Amino acid sequence: MTTTHPTARTYLVIYGWLIGLTILEVGVVLAGWPQGAIVTILIATALAKALLIALYFMHLKFDRPLVWLLPGIPVVLGIVFVLALFPDVVFHLVQRM
């Protein structure tokens, strides 16, 4: 069992951050920022939001580090797997152009 639990106030603060980041996301898109900036910002904010939810709402921050292995392994594998597909389905196009 988890030993410490976040308080309702913690949950609300995290929720505030999530809402704020979402508004930021929609804002930069609607404001029509350059594509490169949008991609960078959105990936960063999406990762930040996912981490906030995992750490606080899913209590990973309060679990033993060994529990992190469970979601950690597939996340790492998934990223490696997708990157391994790049040479075949993405890069040959770049070579041509």
Partner 1 sequence: MSEQRTSFIRKYIFSTSHKVIAIQYLITGLVFLAMGGVMALLIRWQLAYPWQPVPLIGKLLFPGSGGAVTPEAYPVLFTMHGGIMVFFALTPILLGAMGNYTIPLEVGARDMAFPRLNMLSYWFLFLGSVLLIASFFVPEGAAGFGWTVYAPLSSSTAVLPGWGQDLFILGLALDAVSILMGGLNYITTIMQLRAPGLTLRRLPLTLWGLFYSAVLNTLWLPIVVAALFMVLCDRRLGTAFFVAGPLAPHEGGQVLLYQHLFWGFGHPEVYILIFPVWGLVGDLLSVFSRKPAFGYKATVLSMLVITILSGIVWGHHMFTSGMNPLVGKAFMFLTITVSVPTAIFFLNWLGTLWRGAIRLTVPMLFTLGVVFVFAIGGLTGLFNALQTFDVYIHDTYFVVGHFHYTLAASVLFGAFAFIYFWFPKIFGRQMNARLGRLHFWLSFVFLNAVFSVMMFLGLHGHMRRIADATAYEFLKPVQHWNVFIGWAALGLGLSQLLFFINFLYSLFKGAPAPANPWEAGSLAWTVSSPPPEHNYETPPRVWCGPHEYGVPSLTNGDWLSQTDPQAAKLARS
Partner 2 sequence: MGMSTFPPDISTTGYLVDRLFWLATLLTGVAFLLVVAALGYFLLRYRARPGRKAFYTHGESRGALWMTGGLAILVFFLIDVNLAYHDHHAWDAVWGSPPRAADALRVQIMPEQFAWNIRYAGPDGIFRTSDDVTTINQLHVPVNRPVIVQLSSKDVIHSFFLPNLRIKMDAVPGMVTSLYFQTTHPGTYDIACAEHCGFGHYRMRGFLIVEESEKAFEGWFTEQAGEGPPDLSWGWNWDLPAAPQQAGQMETTQTGHTP
Partner 3 sequence: MDRVTSAEVEIPLLDIPAGKFGMWVFLVSEIMFFTGLIGSYIVLRLGASSWPKPGEILNTPLLGLNTLVLLSSSLTMALALQAIQQGRQAALKRYLLLTAALGVTFLFIKGCDYVHMWHKGFTISSSLFGSCYYLLTGFHGLHVLSGVILLVCLWAAASRGVFSAAQYGRIEYSGLYWHFIDIVWVILFAILCLV
The footprint of partner 3 (CB under 8 A) covers: 1, 5-6, 8, 11-12, 15, 18-19, 22-23, 25-26, 29-30, 38-39, 42-43, 45-46, 49-50, 53-54, 56-58, 63-64, 66-67, 70-71, 73-75, 77-78, 81-82, 85-86, 89-90, 93
- Give Cβ neighbours of residue 10 (< 8 Å, ≥ 6 apart): 56
Choose, by CB under 8 A, the member of 1, 69, 85, 97 that binds partner 1.
85
Judged by CB under 8 A, the stretch of 11-19, 39-47, 48-56, 82-90 that binds partner 1 is 82-90
d(C-alpha 43, C-alpha 46), whole Å:
5
Contact 11, 56 (CB under 8 A): yes
Residue from 8, 91, 21 nearest 52 by CA: 21
